[in-house]
Structure 1
Amino acid sequence: MKKSILLLLAVTLSFTSFAQDKLTEGTVISTQTMSSDDEAMNSQLAMVGEVVTTTYIKEKKSRSEVSSPMTGDVVTITDTETKKMLMLMDNPMSGKSYMEMSTDSKAAQVENIEVTNRDDKKTVLGYECEGYDVIMTAGGQTVEMTLYTTKSITAYSQQSQMYGDKIEGFPMYFVLNMSQMGKNITIENTVTEIKEEAVSSDKFNMTPPEGYTEMKQ
């Protein structure tokens, strides 16, 4: 259960990893905050502060980088042409590990997913987005999420593989509620910047680095 919750959180932190048709090369920045209704937990999360995810895109490949005290350093490299994904995790508690996956498979152990269209809209960076409510179970715990996606960006998202055809478009904003150690945690994420620029091909090496141990799904 702990493994699946940790992996779900790691995937959530690197939520913006994608390769899209309209933006063939560039960088995407998203910001994320965590809070809790428990005073002690909220104080700890406040020390974490705002988490920034940087995603590099080059044609059908992407690389997202995020550093968080809860998950350590997480790097996710995706090649949608070969349908391969490599996740590198450097956690102070569990050490360095990697996981190789297919973009056709579920990146987290999710047993049940319920998706409802909210029938409302939200504008993010000029993109009109459709709203969805999602309820899913991971490691026996219920996770609730509200997200807004735009059809103006054709993209692959790590989390969209869990929803199948239940959600259309690329996610630009989400708020997620989950329980960790019996405490309620809210995670809010929004894409804050999209820019076109040259990206080095070296960032998309799919070979696990030395010193990393394979983590089985």
Structure 2
Amino acid sequence: MKKLLFSFSLFLMAMTYMSAQTVLGEGYIKMEIVDATSDDEQMAMGLEMMKGTQTEIFFMGGKSLSKVNMMGGMVETTTLFNSETEQMDMLFNMMGQKMHVSSTAAERALAQNEQAALAKEMEVTYDESDTKEILGYNCVKANIAHPSIQDGMSFSMYITKDIKADPKMIQGLQDIKIEGFPLEYVMSMPQMTMTISAVELKQEVDASVFDLDTGGYEKLTLQEFTDRMKQFGGGGFGF
């Protein structure tokens, strides 16, 4: 269960490291795990606990911030990204274990060489015939493919071109151009399916949300944090 918890917490973090640039200039989007199922009884129990997990994304000017709250607050992450300096600060709190990770673009690139190589082989295709409306935005389906993806596994998004996102801040997809902002993710594997969808959107945000309170957090380098995560069965940022 601990490994499942860390795997999904890292998956959610990867889905929220974005720098948002929209026609609105600033805003707030709340994403939520709206569906998670499995034929495996033990995995199904873990997934049931994940339902309702929320990710909040705030963006204003050159800053974006994401907050993830899992399992009733047992795991919380807050990530602040400055698109001008490409500085990233993440606060990670799991059951009282608090870590503050500050990293530069160069440090993240060094830590993600393997993931960057894999990303270059990924392909994004758009199915204009598969559309849906999410929170008033018209979205089209984007399918992500990679030669290493096994049969029975798939990853897709529903994106809107009315909201732009910086693909460099989507972990593992830094080299892939995504033509819009994803308002829904669908991940399918042989034993499980998970859907994360936007459930709320606001056009204004309070600037004070970008002021991080790092009191009580242990300061770690990106490598130190990655090593710490491996001890819990996770794989750091490039799990």
TM-score normalised by the chain length of structure 2: 0.69
Task: Give the equivalent residue in structure 2 for 1:11.
Answer: 13
Q: CA deviation at 1:124?
A: 1.4
Task: Give the equivalent residue in structure 2 for 1:25.
Answer: 26
| Matched residue SS, 2:193 | strand
Instruction: Compare the two structures and name the one with the higher helix fraction.
Output: 2
- Amino acid paired to 1:41: M
152, 168, 176: which is aligned to 2:179?
Answer: 168
Structure 2, gaps ≥5 residues long: 227-239
Task: Give the equivalent residue in structure 2 for 1:59.
Answer: 61
In the TM superposition, structure 1's runs of 4+ consecutive aligned residues that sit over 6 Å from their partners are 206-209
C-alpha distance 95-177 of structure 1, shift in aligned 2 (>3 A): farther
| Matched residue SS, 1:162 | coil
| Matched residue SS, 1:155 | strand
Number of matched pairs? 208
Separation in structure 2 between the aligned mates of residue 167 and residue 202 of structure 1, nearest angstrom? 27
RMSD of the TM alignment (CA)?
3.7
Task: Give the equivalent residue in structure 2 for 1:117.
Answer: 126
Task: Give the equivalent residue in structure 1 for 2:82.
Answer: 79
Q: CA deviation at 1:91?
A: 2.7
- Amino acid paired to 1:190: S
The answer to whether the Cα contact below 8 Å between 1:107 and 1:159 also exists between their aligned partners in 2 is no
Structure 1, gaps ≥5 residues long: none
| Matched residue SS, 1:212 | strand
| Matched residue SS, 2:49 | helix
- Amino acid paired to 1:133: N
Task: Give the equivalent residue in structure 1 for 2:233.
Answer: none
- What whole-Å deviation, never above 9, does each CA across 1:68-111 have from its counterpart, x for those lacking one? 24982111111112222223222349763525242995996532
The answer to whether the Cα contact below 8 Å between 2:77 and 2:93 also exists between their aligned partners in 1 is yes
Identity %: 25
Structure 1 residues 140-151: aligned runs within 5 Å: 144-151=154-161
C-alpha distance 10-105 of structure 1, shift in aligned 2 (>3 A): farther
Instruction: Compare the two structures and name the one with the higher strand fraction.
Output: 1
Q: CA deviation at 1:175?
A: 0.4
- What whole-Å deviation, never above 9, does each CA across 1:150-201 have from its counterpart, x for those lacking one? 111123353277153443111111101358xxxx332211112111234134
